[in-house]
Structure 1
Amino acid sequence: MLADLTAAGALGEGWRGAFERAPRSAFVPDEIWVDDDGYRLVSRAVNPAEWWVEVNADRQVVTQVDDGRVGGPGVATSSGSMPSLVASMLRHLDVEDGHSVLDVGTGTGWTSALLCTRLGAGSVTTVEVDPAVAAAAGERLATLGLRPSRVVGDGLLGYPAGGPYDRIHATAAVQRVPLPWIEQTRPGGVIVTPWGTPYANAGLLRLEVGERGRESYGRFVGDVSFMWMRDQRPHAVEAPVDRSPDHRGSSPIDPELAEENVHAAFAIGLRVPGVRTLHCWEAADPSGTHRFQLMDNAGSWTSVRFRDWDGVDAVQQAGPRRLWDEVTAARTAWEKDGKPKLTRFGVTVTVGGQQQVWLDDPEHVLH
């Protein structure tokens, strides 16, 4: 795995040694979950070969489902991130000797370990909301002789007692950059965090913190998808309630265009706040019944048929918002802007913590 990351140029300068001294395998628990049309438990003791394949692959390893509860819906809630993404995020963090770092979302402890081996454990504070996950990570870190400052708590609040920090690194996605992160970072410091919308959880944000009393600016530097911070998770995706639509009609665009690629979805998501999506169909006729559904968790929903999408009843909508109208308008706006990639977008965080998203320049704010 390390050889592949090195050959691909994924490891930033100064990080190869950290990855060697803190191998990923030392931080993956003995029981992991593999997605086989639903999560299946894989035990290192029972099936070591499969366990090692998952650990050494450049992909996410799910380490917890349903926040550790038994009998849940089978939703991944904690994981070990893709090694190439970990390397990329650390490269964008741009740490230097002597920097202090707040690692938000300890998870398995691997990223904390990499930061410790690169900067020294005394320079690293790591916070985890789940006590069981935090305890397990602490044991793994101690096994390698690494003892960063460990905190069990809400990472969205940061940890002011350990600040101010030169860098903040988050391993779970946010919809809004928390103001405490800004306040606990030195002016000129950097925050690297996954960032997304309920429609498209897809951006990696690198935010530079402004001087006290000034705004902070950042750009999206990559395409990533991480699990959400628990307190910023979007509402659950459920099929619309069984009621008659307020409006029926044809679609002005092929519904495929609503998720044509990550850049289109990301741009649309910026303009349709609070909207989540769901694909559904009947097993007896998947292609004939395939529909694209949207919900905002405030009473508005839309269902769009893929086949014959320009038919008179292809679109059904209900509630105070016309969600498909919003999506088609957002898609049109993205096209008028020249179909920009997500890396052309950025974020401004005001002194009061308000968030503005812009295209190319902070003056070109998206409303």
Structure 2
Amino acid sequence: MRDGYERLLADLTLSGALEEGWLGAFERAPRPVFVPESVWAPDAAIPTGYRRVSRVVEPETWWALVDADEVIVTQLDDGAHDGPGVPTSSASKPSLVATMLRQLDVIDGARVLDIGTGTGWTSALLSARLGRESVTTVEVDPNVASEAADRVKAAGLVPARVVVGDGLAGWPTDVPYDHIHSTAAVRRVPDAWISQTRPGGTIVTPWGTPYANAGLLRLVRGEPGAPSYGRFVDNVSFMWMRAQRPSAVTLPPTTPDWLGPSEIPPDLVLSNVDVAFTIGLRVPDARYVHTWDRIVLSDGNGSWASVRYETWDAPDAVRQWGTRRLWDEITAARAWWETRGRPPLTRFGLTVTARGRQKAWLDDPKNLVGRPRLPAE
């Protein structure tokens, strides 16, 4: 191993992110082997926000990216050459990879379905720990899957199956799995993941709402016909499953249905990840975009709100359209978070019923997190 990667593993071990049971796998499947020759580095001077970094042309820059505990963007715009510069595939941050694998709570011989092959590194780590016959990995992008298959083959850590397909459907050929591990965020845990996991098995996946893609969910599969329960164990942000990507916020009509002042500065509804995650749970269809002077919110179904950052308490600072008063719901959700003692993200959990319905809760599955009730309702 290179000195840079050795230092990275030492730092991860010292921080507690990388436990002893996984250290050997990280040594046998070093990250640099799985990072593509060309990656994308953030660059504010470029219109897309990213510039290509080649290992051949800029070896020092490439190695600095690979040896850092940071995410590396490996694809923009689903591979299109003329897109706006949206990251769509990556090599995940090593400390988060270690955290997610630890949350699986695997034992020798466990069978794992890995959703989102990406560079192939995670499936190689699983193969190094559990043996190749224990691992199936699924990737929706044929080109990404093909390149990952070449890398894991070259490393001698080929999973039993590298499948090109929709990860939301899992892979029913080899059920049941002891664990399902996803490296792409979902808004809803697919029914297929529940049915393909044995009772008592774990599902570890990034989970979020259009307002806050921020939770790492560890869900324990219930008995047949019974609910599955899980908790949000960490703050993470991963790219969405392609089929569950939230739609962008469209601009509202010209003339609002309602004008008024805001009770709070708009910055407070995004002041930290915990309040944003809470608002997303309470108003699960809300999403936002920033303009030069306002935050604009939408429910994706014909209702909007916008709030001016400056003079937010002026009579015309808040504009609202549609059948809902979306800003009122957002501020009520934040007030609820305040009255509950400003709970961190890790105090929340999720129940998935036998019929696939998701119910978020605070501290206990009996304390459900519902939609805000406004005075007019």
Q: TM-score normalized by structure 1?
A: 0.96
> Residue in 1 aligned with 2:204?
192
How many angstroms does 1:23 deviate by?
0.6
Query: Is the CA contact (8 Å cut-off) linking 2:258 and 2:319 kept in structure 1?
Result: yes
> Residue in 1 aligned with 2:314?
311
> Residue in 1 aligned with 2:188?
176
Equivalent-residue separation in structure 1 for 2:222 and 2:20 (angstroms):
26
Residue 236 (structure 1) aligned with residue 225 (structure 2): no
Counterpart of 1:351 (choices 348, 354, 358) is 354
Summarize the alignment of residues 193-272 of structure 1 with structure 2, pairs less than 5 Å apart: 193-238=205-250, 240-272=251-283
Query: Is the CA contact (8 Å cut-off) linking 1:65 and 1:76 kept in structure 2?
Result: yes
Counterpart of 2:14 (choices 7, 23, 28) is 7
- Root-mean-square deviation (CA, aligned residues, Å) is 0.9
Q: Give unpaired runs (5+ residues) of structure 2.
A: 1-7, 371-377
How many angstroms does 1:242 deviate by?
4.8
Query: Is the CA contact (8 Å cut-off) linking 1:223 and 1:342 kept in structure 2?
Result: yes
How many angstroms does 1:145 deviate by?
1.1
Equivalent-residue separation in structure 1 for 2:17 and 2:345 (angstroms):
20
Equivalent-residue separation in structure 1 for 2:221 and 2:35 (angstroms):
33
Counterpart of 1:39 (choices 42, 50, 67) is 50
Counterpart of 2:134 (choices 123, 127, 144) is 123
Query: Is the CA contact (8 Å cut-off) linking 2:76 and 2:88 kept in structure 1?
Result: yes
Give the AA of the match of 2:348: F
Query: Is the CA contact (8 Å cut-off) linking 2:104 and 2:203 kept in structure 1?
Result: yes
SS of 1:15's partner is: helix
Equivalent-residue separation in structure 2 for 1:279 and 1:56 (angstroms):
33
> Residue in 2 aligned with 1:51?
62
Equivalent-residue separation in structure 2 for 1:237 and 1:313 (angstroms):
21
SS of 1:139's partner is: helix
How many angstroms does 1:306 deviate by?
1.1
SS of 1:17's partner is: helix
Equivalent-residue separation in structure 1 for 2:207 and 2:359 (angstroms):
13
Equivalent-residue separation in structure 1 for 2:135 and 2:369 (angstroms):
36
Query: Is the CA contact (8 Å cut-off) linking 1:12 and 1:90 kept in structure 2?
Result: no
Summarize the alignment of residues 25-104 of structure 1 with structure 2, pairs less than 5 Å apart: 25-37=32-44, 38-104=49-115
How many angstroms does 1:277 deviate by?
1.1
Q: TM-score normalized by structure 2?
A: 0.94
Q: Which runs of 4+ in 1 moved over 3 A?
A: none
SS of 1:251's partner is: coil
Equivalent-residue separation in structure 2 for 1:89 and 1:273 (angstroms):
24
Equivalent-residue separation in structure 2 for 1:11 and 1:119 (angstroms):
16
Equivalent-residue separation in structure 2 for 1:244 and 1:40 (angstroms):
40
Q: Give unpaired runs (5+ residues) of structure 1.
A: 282-289
